[in-house]
Structures are given as structure tokens and as C-alpha cells.
């Protein structure tokens, strides 16, 4: 089992461990994620049809309306939210959503070093992401 340590900036404190769901595209929670199912519905998105529930969601940055913060909160309230969020650049909409939903969040991370299916340990206190993968 190979381990890689990535350093970023802590945004929302907390710790989480889970499977990585990685996108190379920005994500909008408003209109991009169904708040009733947690499924990514944004047309043309590389994660279209995937669920954000109980994964470590890694994407470059958010985009879209400020209502996206409330969508992220609604996902958490309904048990459909990601365990943690890892971004290259923190978008204010995603930050506010992570804060009010109490989802650990880190930015400043080179997400190209993370693959879908990797096991990640996210530490929102220190800004460290431990990547564990076979081989």
C-alpha cells in the first residue's frame, strides 16, 4: 500500500476518512447536485450520475449561485453529504456550505495526485490529506 501526503490549507476543521471521488471540473451544488438524492446531475460533468454521499469529494473549485451553500447544508441534513471536501481553490459558496454543514474542508491541494477510489484521510485541523492506494 503506497501512501502520499499532500499539504493544503485548512478551511473547515474536522477529520474524515473515506473513498475519493475526484473531478477535473468545477462543480455547482445549485443545479449540479440533486439535493434529494446526492447525485451529480450537471450535464457534461465528468462525475455525472455519481453520488457525493459519504465520499471525500475532490474538485478544483465551486461555481454558481450562493444558494449552493444551502444545497450543501441540505445534503448534510438529509444524510447525503460528502464526508469531506478537498479543493485546489476554495470558492466562498462551497466554504459557507461546508461551514454550516460542518463538513471538513481543505484547499490548496494538488488534486491531480488523487485518483477516484483512493482512500483518503483528511485532517481539517492541519490541512493534511493522506492518500492510500494499492501499489
Q: Which residues are catalytic?
A: 65
For the beta carbon of residue 65, count every other beta carbon within 10 angstroms. Answer: 13
Report the C-alpha gap between 112 and 16 in whole angstroms. Answer: 20
Grid coordinates representing 121 are: 484521510
For residue 43, give every residue at least 6 positions away whose Cβ sits within 8 Å of its Cβ, in sequence order, or none: none
- What are the DSSP E strand ranges found in 8-101? 9-12, 15-22, 56-59, 84-87
Amino acid at each position: 500500500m503506497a501512501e502520499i501526503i499532500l499539504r493544503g490549507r485548512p478551511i473547515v476543521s474536522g477529520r474524515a476518512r473515506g473513498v475519493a471521488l475526484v473531478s477535473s471540473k468545477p462543480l455547482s451544488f445549485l443545479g449540479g447536485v440533486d439535493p434529494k438524492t446526492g447525485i451529480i446531475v450537471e450535464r457534461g460533468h465528468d462525475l455525472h450520475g455519481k453520488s457525493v454521499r459519504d465520499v471525500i469529494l475532490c474538485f478544483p473549485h465551486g461555481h454558481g449561485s450562493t444558494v449552493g451553500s444551502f444545497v450543501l447544508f441540505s445534503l448534510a441534513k438529509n444524510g447525503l453529504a460528502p464526508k469531506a471536501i478537498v479543493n485546489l481553490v476554495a470558492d466562498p459558496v462551497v466554504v459557507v456550505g461546508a461551514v454550516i454543514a460542518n463538513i471538513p474542508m481543505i484547499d490548496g491541494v494538488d488534486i491531480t495526485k488523487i485518483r477516484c477510489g483512493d482512500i483518503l484521510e483528511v485532517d481539517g485541523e492541519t490541512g493534511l490529506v493522506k492518500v492510500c492506494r494499492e501499489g
